[in-house]
A and B are shown apart, each in its own frame.
Chain A
Amino acid sequence: MEITFDKYSLMINGKRVFIKSGAFHYFRTPGIEMTRDRFLKMKAGGYNTVDLYFNWNYHSPSQGIYDFTGIKDVRKVLEEAKKAGLYVIARPGPFINAEVNAGGLPFWLLKMEDVIPRNRVGTEYKYSAKYMEYVAEWYDQIIPIIKDFDNVILFQIENEYATDSMEEDYIRELYKMARERGITCPIFHNDAYFAGLWADCVDIYALDLYPYINPNQNWKHDSFCFDTLDNVEDIFRCAKCDSPPFIAEMQSGWFDKWDGMGYKHIREALGDEHINIMTKTALSQGVTLFNHFLTVGGTNWGDLACDEVYTSYEFTAPIDEFGVPQSNFHKAKEINYFLESFDLTCTDPIDFDFYQENIYAKMRHDNTNNCDWLFIRNMGIPQKTNEAENGIFLPNGKTIKLKSCDMKICPINLKLKACEIEFSDAEIFAKLENEYKEAVFFISDKDANIYLNDGTVISGDQQDYTNFTFEKDGKTTNIIFITKHLSDKSWFLGDRMIFNAEYVLPNGAVAVDRNTEIAYFDLQYGFAKKNCIVNEFNNRASSLEALEISDVQFCSPEIDNDFDYSNWQKIQVNGKTDAFSCNMYNEFVWYKAKIPYNLTEITLSARHLFAVYINGKEIINRNSYKLEKLQEVPETISVPLNKIILNKDINELTILVQNLGFDKGFSGDTNNPRGLVLFETTPKVPIEFYVCEKLSPERTEKYESDNPYLSKITVNFDIDIKDNVFFAKYISFEDFRCRRATIFLNGIKIGRYIKRRHVQDKFYLINEFLKPHNTLDIVVWEKDRNVKSAWGFKSDLKNVKILLGTFKIYQLFK
C-alpha cells in the first residue's frame, strides 16, 4: 500500500482518504475475542482506522526477553484490525504515557546504569547512548511485526515529548531507526503543546487536544475552552505547510484519578455535546485525520496502571470498558457516517463575515462536492441569556435555532442527483447511492428546515421514515427523515441501512437486547422488516445475584512470628530496599528483618500503601499516596517504639508495601522509586532485610496463617457462555464493608478496591478470563482497629456481600 499526502489529506494508493480513527489499548482489552468484538463495533460506528499504542513494558519483563504470545500476541491484534477492514496508526513509543505503569517503559530499563529514560531529566535534555541502545532492542522486536501489515498507514515516534532546549538528536535518531527497520509509511510525532514541536523532524506534524482536563470545572461555562481548536488550522499551517492537519489525539473522553470525581460524573459532564463539538470544530478547521482518544475503554488489570489511575480505565469512551456503545459513540457514528457519505478530504476555508456573541461560525468550500459547508456552534451558557437559542441570523437570510453547546454542519448549494439543497440546518446522517438513485437520510429536528434552490422548503419536523422523492433526468433522490432516537439505532453498511438494532456488525449481524422488529433499507428493494426474538434473557441484564462465599482464609503467614523466610532475597546490611534495587516490581512487596529491643523509633517512607508489623502485631497501616490540589502528604514518617511493642530481645519486623504503579512519566520521572524507599532506626543499628514479592495466595498453595490482617474470601460461580451472545458481567462491591481488597478472577488479578469518596465499586469480569466455572478470590487487607477478634472477623467476612451483575446482554442475529 502506498501512503502519500499533501496539505489536504492522506492518500492511500493515490486516493484521498479521510482518516477517522479511534484509539484502542489491546493490553487493557485482552484477548482476541474481545479485540475482534471492539474492532467490529468501531467499524460499525464508521471508524476506518484504529490507533494502537504498543506497550514495551507489557511485553518485556527483563532485558532481552520479549513476550508476544497468547494475549500478548500483537500480530493477532493487527490481523484482526485488517480483517475488520481497519487501517492502523502504530505508536510503539518507546514512551507512550496512556496512564500505564512507567508510561510503557520496562522496569528493568529504569534501573539500568547510564540509562536516562527519554534522554531527559525533568525538562533538561541529556542524551544517553545506553538508553538508545535499548530503544533499538525494542524497535528490533516490534517493528518487524508492524511492518508485516500493509494496513499500517502511519507510524509515531515518541509521544508528547519536549525539553527546554529542544535538541533534535533524539527525535531524528528515532526517525532514522524506524526507517532503517523498514517503516515506509509517513512518520509523525504527537505534540502535546500544539507549538509546532518536532515538525521539521517528521513527515506529518500532529498534535493532541484535550480542552477538558479538569473535571472540577464545567466546560459548558467556559465559552473559550475550544480556543486552541478554533485556531488549529493556523497552528498546522505554521508548523508544516505541506502536511495535512492531523489531530493524533482528539479528546473523546477523559480519565479519572484515585481522588477524582468518578466516571459517572465525567460522562455526564462531557455528555454527547463535547465529542460533537470537538469533531465538528476539527472538521471546520480542515482536519482530515483525527483520532478519538479513547474510543474503547479498558481495564487496568494486573499491574498495568500507573499510580494516578485505578482499575477502570473507562475513560468515558464511546465504547465503554464493558464493550457497550454509549451515547457519545452514537454521536461519533453520526459524524463518521456523514464523512463516509460526503468526502471532505479537500476543502479550503472561505471568508464568512459574521459575528454573534457566543457563536463560532466557519465556512469551507468543498472542492470535491463543489459545495460549501457551514460549521456553526453555540457556546452560550444554558439557562442564561442565550440569544442564539432563539435564533442565529445568518448573512444568507436564514435563521438557525441552535441549543447551547450544540454544533451543526450545514450544506450550502449541495447538488444531489435530482434536487439541489440551497441550505439546510437539518443535519445529514448518511447517504446511500448508485448511478441513478440516492437516499439521503436526515435527522429530524423540529426547529430546522431544508431549503431547496427551487424554493421548496421541507420542515425538519418529521416522523421516522418520512420520505420525500425527487426525480430529474431519469435520476431519483429520496430525502428520508429519521428521529435522533432512531438514528442511534441506525447502522450504515455502505449499500444498505439497518434500523432498530443496538448495533450491527460489518457482516450484517444484528445485536438486540429485547424482542425487536428490525428494518432494512436499500436502493433496490426499499424497506423490509424482520423480527428478532430474545425472550430468554429479557430480564437478566441489570439484575444482581448475591454470590455464596465458599471459604474465608487468613492468608498472610509472612506476618506470623514463626514464618520461615530464609529463602527470600537477602539485602545487604543497610542496602537499598526500593523496588528497583530489589528487582521487585509487583504490586505487593514483603520485607522481613530482625530488630533489637532497644529501638525507640523507626523512620520510614514507602509507596504507596504500607503497614508495619512487629512480632505479628500491626504498628502502623497507612496510605502515603501523594494528594492532588498541589499539596503532598509527608511521605516520611516516624513511629515511636516501646517495650510493649518490642517485647523480645530480638523482635521480628514485617513490612508490607503496596505499589499502585510507577509514575507515567509525562511530567514526573518514571524511575521515581517504589516499595520501601527509606528505613532508619533510632538508635541507628544495621538492619538486614529479606524481601519477597506477591501475596501468599499468588506465590504458594499453602498460606493459612494465624493473623487476620490479610484474608482471602473465595466464591465460585458459573457462567453460561453461548455463541452469538455478547455479555458483560461485573462484581459489585456496593455493600462491601472492608477498606481495601485485591480481586483475582481464576488466579488473574483484575482489580484493586480502595474505599474512597468516589470509589470504583463495580469491577468488570473481563470476558477473556471468564470460564464456565469460575473462582473469584478477594484478598482483603484490613487495619488492626477494624479487626475486633480473629474469630469474629472471619465470621464477618463470611457474611460480606459480593454481588454478580450483568451489565448487558445482546443476542446477535445473522
Chain B
Amino acid sequence: MVVVPEFLIKRIYQKGSLKKLENGASVNLKNVLGPGFISGFNYVKINNTTYEAKDVKFIMNGQEYLGTEVSEENPVAFRLGQVGTLVMTGEQSVIDGINKIVIEALNPEAGVVRLSIEDEVK
C-alpha cells in the first residue's frame, strides 16, 4: 500500500470551496495527484458534526454517487484534473470563520486516505 504524505493529500481539497447548505455543507475536491479510484467514503467531519457515508454524496460530471454505494467492487474513477463536489446532508455544521474539516475515504492502493484541513467561510 502506498502512504501518501499529508501535504500531498491536502492538495486535493480546493481551498475556499466550503459552502453552507440549508441542512448540510459541500466542498470541492480536485484530483491533482494522479489517476485513480475512490473505493469508499468512511465519513466527513465538519467541526463537531460527523456525516456518515449514508449522508454523503459525491457529484462529478453531473453524476451522483451515494457514499454507501461506493465500494471496492463499485469504485468511482477520479481522473487527474477532475473536480468533484462532496455534499453532506443531515444537519448544519458550517460556521462563519475557520472550519475544521476531516474527510476519510478509501483508495484501492493506498487504503484509508484521511484529509484534514481548515477552510474559512466569511
Contacts and interface: CB of A to CB of B under 8 A. Distances in A.
B43 to A, nearest CB: 16
Contacts of A630: 72, 106, 111-112
B53 to A, nearest CB: 15
Interface string A172-200: 00000000000000000000111100000
Interface stretch (A67-75, A163-171, A724-732): A163-171
A195 B80 CA distance: 13
A123 B34 contact: no
A748 interface: no
Contacts of A165: 7
Given A194-B34, A666-B2, A224 B7 contact: no
Contacts of A122: 3
A123 B6 contact: yes
Interface class of chain A by DSSP: loop
Contacts of B35: 211, 222, 224-228
A166 B79 CA distance: 26
Contacts of A581: none
B19 to A, nearest CB: 28
A463 interface: no
Contacts of B80: 224, 227-228, 231
A193 B6 contact: no
Contacts, number: 55
A699 interface: no
Interface string B1-20: 11111111000000000000
A227 B81 contact: yes
B84 interface: no
Nearest to A225: B35
B109 A667 contact: no
A12 interface: no
B90 interface: no
B7 A164 contact: yes
B77 interface: yes
A164 B79 CA distance: 24
A224 B106 contact: no
Given A193-B33, A224-B79, A224-B80, A164 B5 contact: yes
A384 interface: no
Nearest to B112: A630
B106 A227 contact: no
B interface, how many residues as a size bin? Answer: 20 to 34
Interface centre among B2, B5, B80 (most CB of A within 10 A): B5
B7 A166 contact: yes
A213 interface: yes
Given A213-B109, A214-B108, A227-B34, A222 B5 contact: no
A630 B71 CA distance: 12
A575 to B, nearest CB: 32
A227 B2 contact: no
Contacts of A228: 34-35, 80
Contacts of A195: 8, 33
Nearest to B78: A224
Contacts of A266: none
Given A193-B5, A194-B34, A225-B35, A629 B72 contact: yes
Nearest to A214: B108
A283 interface: no
Interface string A213-232: 11011000010111110010
A183 to B, nearest CB: 27
Interface in B14-55: 33-35, 37
Given A164-B6, A667-B1, A214 B109 contact: yes
A122 B6 CA distance: 11
A666 B77 CA distance: 25
B108 A667 contact: no
A329 B74 CA distance: 35
A222 B33 CA distance: 17
B34 A224 contact: no
A162 interface: yes
A162 B9 CA distance: 12
Contacts of B34: 194, 227-228
B3 A667 contact: yes
Nearest to B106: A630
Contacts of A211: 35
B85 to A, nearest CB: 19
Contacts of B2: 192, 666-667
Contacts of B109: 213-214
Contacts of B37: 217
Contacts of B111: 630
9 contacts: A162-B5, A164-B5, A193-B4, A211-B35, A217-B108, A227-B34, A227-B35, A227-B81, A228-B34
Interface of B: 1-8, 33-35, 37, 72, 77, 79-81, 106, 108-109, 111-112
Given A163-B5, A224-B35, A228-B34, 6 more contacts: A166-B5, A216-B108, A224-B79, A227-B34, A231-B80, A667-B3
